[in-house]
Amino acid sequence: MLTEQEIMNNAFKEMQFHEDSMAKKYACMSDEINDPKIKQMLKGMEQGSRNNFKTLSETMSKFSIV
């Protein structure tokens, strides 16, 4: 049985992994797209995922999650 702390650790790490994966996916897609509007949209989505990743990292630090 996992403790509440372990469950929280796992959830944060999973969210962080998801945001990193999405940022990489958006970056890859924007490199393959020629339409400037879609490229800009994907770059914005990539930046959003990177911001979410950073926020998660900061929150994890506050909770001593490594």
pLDDT in tens, 4-41: 999 999 999 999 999 999 999 999 999 999 999 999 99
Give 66's pLDDT tier (boundaries 50, 70, 90): confident
Residue in this structure with the two tokens 């001593």, named with its chain if needed: 64
* pLDDT reported for residue 65: 86
Closest of 25, 7, 20 to residue 53, by C-alpha? 20
**Rounded distance, CA 48 to CA 6, Å?**
27
Answer yes or no: is pLDDT of 61 > 90. Answer: yes
What pLDDT sits at residue 18?
98
| 0.95 exceeded by pTM | no
Q: How far is CA 1 from CA 5, 6, 7, 15, 64, in A?
A: 12, 10, 10, 21, 21
